[in-house]
Amino acid sequence: MIRLFDYYRSSASYRVRIALNLKGLDYERVPVNLLNNDQKSDEYRASNPQGLVPMLEIDGAQLTQSLSIVNYLNGVYPDPPLAPSDPVAAAHVRSMAQVVASDIHPLNNLRVLGYVSDVLGHDKDTRARWYAHWVHEGFEALEQLAIRHGGAYLSGDLPGLADLCLVPQMFNARRFDIPLDDYPTLVAYDAKANALDAFQAAHPDRFD
């Protein structure tokens, strides 16, 4: 049994749900409500000391950090691949994924936004400007990388690592009313990925 501990609107959890679906793997979802601080409970931290989502229980292991989980799934279940076989093309896919997973998302996740407002005392408008700044900075670069290195999907001939990072970030951008007119390539890749069953089944609207 594969068990995914996740929060339905967590971008990192959303990525892993997509990856599991792309690999055709059945799993049991274990909700962890971040708004109720379930992730900070002693019971959860005993398994995941960082107190974050997602966490995947698989093959007798408890795996954390979304891209680490995705890389594990891609290694153990290689078909369909989540990155091209060509080393250079694969490096470009990983780079595009990291723009989202390392540069945009960590600065805009729930705990960081909470710190900006609750601890540093910034108002709602300042928090919104903070969020928008990092999204635009990341998307401006990612748009150009997508033009240069994208294929049928952002990850190449098949949907993969870059797509499963892009789609949750686009969902969040829309949720926070970030204009996307300047990123037509990203919008097109997001729409194409979201037309696939694996992405639709992972969408936050399917859960609560």
pLDDT digits (tens, 9 = 90+) for 133-163: 999 999 999 999 999 999 999 999 999 999 9
Q: Are 6 and 53 in contact (CB under 8 A)?
A: yes
Q: Which residue intervals of the chain bear CATH 3.40.30.10?
A: 3-80+200-206
**How high is the mean pLDDT of the chain?**
96
* Other residues' Cβ atoms within 10 Å of the Cβ of residue 194: 15
How far apart CA 71 and CA 88 sit, in angstroms, is: 17
> Stretch 35-45: mean pLDDT, rounded?
93
Q: Say whether pLDDT at 6 is over 80.
A: yes
Q: Write the burial class of residue 4 (CB in 10 Å: 0-12 exposed, 13-18 middle, 19+ buried).
A: buried
How far apart CA 16 and CA 68 sit, in angstroms, is: 10
Whole-model pTM: value is: 0.96
Q: Are 203 and 134 in contact (CB under 8 A)?
A: no
Domain 3-80+200-206 has CATH 3.40.30.10: yes
Q: Which residue intervals of the chain bear CATH 1.20.1050.10?
A: 87-196
Q: Are 182 and 143 in contact (CB under 8 A)?
A: yes
Q: Which CATH number fits domain 87-196: 3.40.50.720, 1.10.287.3510, 1.20.1050.10, 2.130.10.10?
A: 1.20.1050.10
Six-digit token pair at 20? 């599991």
How far apart CA 91 and CA 85 sit, in angstroms, is: 10
> Which of 44, 54, 46, 61 is closest to 19 using CA atoms?
54
